[in-house]
Copies of this chain bind each other. A is one copy, B any other.
Amino acid sequence: MKIEIFDCTLREGVQSQGISMSNEDRLKIAKKLDELGISYIEAGNPASNPKETAFFKELKSENFINSKIVAFGSTRRAHTEVSEDEGLKNLIAANTDIVTVFGKSWDFHVTDILSAELYENLNMIYDTVCYLKENGKEVFYDAEHFFDGCKHNKEYALKTLEAAYFGGASRIILCDTNGAAFPDEVEKIVAELAPKYKNMLGIHCHDDCGMAVANSISAVRGGAVMIQGTLTGCGERCGNANLATVIGNLQTKMEHNVIGENLKNLTSACVYVSDVANQTLSPNAPYVGRNAFAHKGGMHIDAVCKEPSSFEHIPPETVGNKRRILVSEVSGKSAVYSKIQRLFPEIKKSDPSVAKITRRFKELEHLGYQFEAAEGSAELVIRKIIGKYSTVFTLNMFRILSEQDSSRSSNLTTALISISVDGKSEITAVEGNGPVNALDKALRKAAEVFYPQIKNVKLLDYKVRVIDSNATASKVRVLIESADGKERWTTVGVSDDVIKASWIALVDSIELKIIKDSEKEKQKIE
């Protein structure tokens, strides 16, 4: 049986700290998950608030190709009629073909958290599943805290599964709600239950012990047919099982075909979902992170240039990711050349510019530059030497004034700038939050007069690092990440003055954008 992937981003993912999404954002994510070939999308808990109800209506009018939409809710309350349970009414009203209901499988939760009798909890599970089936739903049962339950009262934990089974659930999902289970334990229990619940078992893991992915894979080895998680791993506390990693593992290491050809869109889907959720995709994320195929150590780079599989477990293209050769003090000429090659394939290794570029990188690194995270500036270094560069503006002057006095709670910072392009000059002034922000705003305000396209450029990130510890007179390295809606690039500046360092990185960012845009224009005309 094909392993089913069940994504909880829109329900449990929004419970992570710092995530809060509009229904519009959630719809975008649902569509992307569908496009990627995810089997099920848990869209929300319709009982929790009116925004959820509205969202299920919206979803109903959309056409999903690969994914089935699932509504999430809990078993009925203790000692009430199913037909009078508000939660279940909302769940039915969500109008999905499939619903997931979660119930208690750990006796301690029944007695101490719900304050219900153990037998009543079994009734609650059975009644709820039956009732939802009678109302035409396919029902998935989430056995909350199943693994903790097994440790404390296995007999009872197993009875809760039976209650769901006899009620008519089509999937029984074993949840490691607190994230404390280990792979060997998961595999053993799943293997024990799989013959009884044939092609019905699912797994739902949390990462509190760093084991969510390993546990999910172990469950498949034991006989589970569904893995629940979130595409990027977001979720309460340490997160849910990271489905991108799970999918990568299943498809490239275990020959379980879960999303087929779409595997090559895995990286872009993760970047998209993180962007929409306003989260940063971890650069170290397996398969899809920016660093997943980045090489810095000199020996590693030499080996990867000879034979990529020497330090890469799969070709990065398999999952739509890219190899990155980080130029750093530990790397030599072949690393530099492979970087040149990727940008300008026409340059031969024997070209004298290669040695010049290598030398220039070394000089700059000696001054404190680092290009591994500043590919934009690295490209400019190369362009300057191979003659694919021209100055886009000249600075006449800037002045930044920061003032603080006892009557003011915050500083007042103003920047004044004058630049020239082709003999015409532009002078302008702005207020900012601190000197760097003021300078950034002033430069862009002035440059926009000549280059309106930089209005689309957004600064995404700004990082300052002191290089040598010599306190406030130390050299600093500034990294700036910019984006124009299509591409992202990072530039770097180094100086003993944070303003000067920021200026260098800002200028690189804008120059690169303008130079590349004008090249594209030329190509169009040709």
A310 and B473 in contact (CB under 8 A), knowing A248-B209, A397-B403, A498-B434? Answer: no
Enumerate A76-94 residues with CB–CB distance to B below 8 Å.
none
- Contact bitstring A245-258, B, C-beta under 8 A = 1, else 0: 10011000100000
With contact pairs A238-B291, A499-B411 given, residues A440 and B209 touching in the complex (Cβ less than 8 Å): no
**A112 at interface (Cβ–Cβ under 8 A)?**
yes
Given A184-B221, A296-B236; A410-B210 close (CB under 8 Å): no
Task: Please report which residues of chain A, range 15-40, place their CB below 8 angstroms from some CB of chain B when the two chains form the complex.
Answer: 15-18, 20, 22, 24-25
Distance between Cα atoms of A469 and B495 in the complex (Å): 22
Known: A49-B329, A210-B286, A311-B178. A297 touches B15 (CB 8 A): yes
Whether A271 is near chain B, meaning CB under 8 Å from some CB there, is no
In the complex, the answer to whether A209 meets B433 with C-beta atoms within 8 Å is no
A373 in the interface, Cβ–Cβ < 8 Å?
yes
Q: Are B214 and A183 in contact (CB under 8 A)?
A: yes
Segment at the interface with B among A121-129, A191-199, A299-307: A299-307
Residues of B close to A428: CB separation below 8 A? none
**A300 shortest CB reach to chain B, Å:** 7
The answer to the question of A500 belonging to the interface, with a C-beta cut-off of 8 Å to chain B, is yes
Q: Could you pull out 11 A-B pairs where Cβ atoms are within 8 angstroms? A: A17-B290, A20-B467, A109-B303, A178-B312, A209-B286, A404-B500, A413-B499, A434-B476, A437-B473, A464-B464, A464-B465
B498 touches A436 (CB 8 A): yes
A282 CB-CB contact with B under 8 Å? yes
Q: How many copies does the complex hold?
A: 2
Please choose the segment from A165-173, A260-268, A349-357, A455-463 that sits at the chain B interface, where 4 or more of its residues have CB less than 8 A away: A455-463
User: Contacting A237 at CB < 8 Å: which of B294, B405, B406, B480?
Assistant: B294
How would residues 284 to 326 of chain A score, 1 for a CB under 8 Å from any chain B CB and 0 otherwise?
A: 1111011111111100101100110011111000000000001
Among A296, A302, A468, find the residue whose CB has the most chain B CB atoms closer than 10 A. Answer: A296
**8 extra interface residue pairs, beta carbon distance < 8 Å, beyond A17-B326, A208-B287, A396-B406:** A15-B297, A16-B291, A18-B373, A179-B286, A184-B221, A209-B248, A236-B297, A433-B497
User: Does B500 contact A472, Cβ atoms closer than 8 Å?
Assistant: no
- The interface of chain A, by Cβ under 8 A from chain B, is 15-18, 20, 22, 24-25, 48-49, 108-109, 112-113, 177-180, 182-184, 187, 207-211, 213-215, 217-218, 221, 233, 236-239, 242, 245, 248-249, 253, 278, 280, 282-287, 289-297, 300, 302-303, 306-307, 310-314, 326, 329-330, 370, 372-373, 394-406, 410-411, 413, 432-437, 439-441, 458-469, 471-474, 476, 480-481, 495-500, 502-503
**B residues near A394, Cβ cutoff 8 Å:** 406
Contact status A183-B183, CB under 8 Å: yes
Inter-subunit contact B22/A469 (CB<8 Å): yes
Q: What residues on B are CB-neighbors of A302 within 8 Å? A: 113
Q: Quote the shortest CB–CB distance from A312 to chain B (angstroms).
A: 7
The residues of B that contact A217 with a CB separation of less than 8 Å are 182, 211
Kindly report which residue of chain B lies nearest to residue A479, judged by CB atoms.
B18
Which of B215, B312, B397, B500 is close to A406, meaning CB atoms less than 8 Å apart?
B397
Check A401 against B404 for contact (C-beta < 8 Å): no
Chain B positions within 8 Å of A469 at CB level: 22, 24-25, 280, 460-462
Given A297-B15, A310-B113, CB of A399 within 8 Å of CB of B402:
yes
How many Å lie between the Cα of A370 and that of B402 in the bound state?
A: 25
Contact of A402 among B48, B285, B400 (CB under 8 A): B400
Instruction: Give every chain B residue within 8 A of A411 (Cβ-Cβ).
Output: 495, 497, 499-500
CB–CB A183/B218 < 8 A: yes
Of B434, B462, B473, which contacts A500 at CB under 8 A?
B434
A410 touches B183 (CB 8 A): no
Q: Which residue of B lies closest to A368 (CB)?
A: B20
A49, B328: Cα distance in complex, Å: 13
Chain B residue contacts of A306, Cβ below 8 A: 112-113
Task: Give chain B residues whose Cβ lies under 8 Å from the Cβ of A500.
Answer: 404, 410-411, 434
CB distance B499 to A402 under 8 Å?
yes
Q: With A16-B296, A297-B236, A440-B472 as given contacts, are A435 and B310 in contact (CB-CB < 8 Å)? A: no
Determine which of B370, B372, B410, B472 lies in contact with A436 in the assembled complex, contact meaning CB atoms within 8 Å: B472
Residues on B with beta carbons closer than 8 Å to the beta carbon of A249:
182, 209-211
In the A-B complex, list the 5 residue pairs whose CB atoms are closest, starting with the nearest: A459-B471, A434-B497, A214-B214, A397-B405, A180-B313
Measured between alpha carbons, how far is A182 from B252 in the docked complex, in Å? Answer: 12
Q: Are B253 and A180 neighbours in the complex by a CB distance under 8 Å?
A: yes
A178 contact set on B, CB distance < 8 A:
311-313
Report B-chain residues with C-beta under 8 Å of the C-beta of A307.
108, 112-113
B466 touches A464 (CB 8 A): yes
A17 touches B462 (CB 8 A): no
**Judging by beta carbons under 8 Å apart, are A398 and B406 in contact?**
no
